[in-house]
Amino acid sequence: MNSLRTLFSTHEDVAQIILYATVITSLWLAELIISADSLKSKFKHSSVNLTFIFTALPVQLSLTTFIILICKWANLHHWGLLNLIHWHTKGWLYYIIAFVLMDLCEYTYHVIMHKVDPLWKFHLVHHSDLKVDVSTTTREHPGETFVRTCFLMLWVTILGPVIGVLIIRQIFQSFSNIIAHTEFRLSNRVNKIVGLIFITPNLHHVHHHYRLPYTDCNYGDVLSIWDRLFGTFEELDREDTCFGIDTHMDEKVNGKFLNIVKIPFQKLERKKYDDIL
């Protein structure tokens, strides 16, 4: 475990890339097998989303070092909410509590991205995908990557988790986000059970519905408990779910990388729930 922790703390960015590439490629091929789309159609859609890797990755890699430094500094100086408690050993209870608190922070971040208009203009790039599949996971504007990573620095500063928490958190978060965006859906019975605690593709697809109030629901990152607790939990049948965002439904815009990158810098009239009733 110590060698694994050392590997991730010094090469966390490389480990994350390898994890993402392996899982996304496997699921993309699985989607292709079960999808009605042709290889040409699916590749065309995915190539636009995957291009965002080359704009967001430099931002992610450059800022990851600061996250690790903050984490090490916080624990060296016993800084952060988690360090207010004198843990006899940082065993399973510490890791569970730290993981849950980090998940609450990510829920908070997601809500902020939806509610603060300047930030929403970056986040809607992710929501503007008219067909949600595993490649949608990578559809993140580099501006949002910067904001998201800065928020992670803030959460690490506030909580002060050990590096092991960030390692475990990254693994679960990456896996959860990728699975949540796949075309695969759980049966209603299984979704009812798993969805009591975790965000499932069924629940996250609702979040990608093109109209309010569903766009502003199911903010959970790994756990769905926050949505249930704070009243942002919703369900929607598959046949009633339409992907995209109502202010950007033009396929000619959403299908071209350069057009998508420009979205945050264009004037946006945000629709209110009352306007679409």
- Average pLDDT across each block of 10 residues of the chain; the chain has 277 residues. List them in order: 50 65 80 77 87 90 91 91 82 93 97 96 95 92 96 96 91 90 92 95 96 95 96 94 92 88 81 45
User: Rounded to an integer, what distance in angstroms lies between the CA atom of residue 73 and that of residue 120?
Assistant: 32
Distance CA 87, CA 91 (A): 9
Cα 154–70–19 angle (5° rounding)? 85
Can you name the residues that pair with 223 across neighbouring β-strands?
A: 198
Alpha carbons 106 and 50: distance in angstroms, whole number: 23
The answer to whether the CB of 138 falls within 8 A of the CB of 50 is yes
Amino acid at 221: D
Residue of 51, 55, 254, 204 whose CA lies nearest to 135: 51
Q: For residues 2 and 239, what is the distance between their CA atoms, to the nearest angstrom? A: 48
**How many angstroms separate the CA atoms of 51 and 43, rounded?**
12
Task: Check: CB of residue 260 under 8 Å from CB of residue 253.
Answer: yes
Name 126's Cβ contacts closer than 8 Å, sequence gap at least 6: 136, 139, 140, 141, 144
- For 223, the 3-state DSSP assignment is strand
pTM of the model: 0.87
Are 75 and 83 spatial neighbours (Cβ–Cβ below 8 Å)? yes
Q: What is the spatial distance between Cα 143 and Cα 191, in angstroms, rounded to a whole number?
A: 33
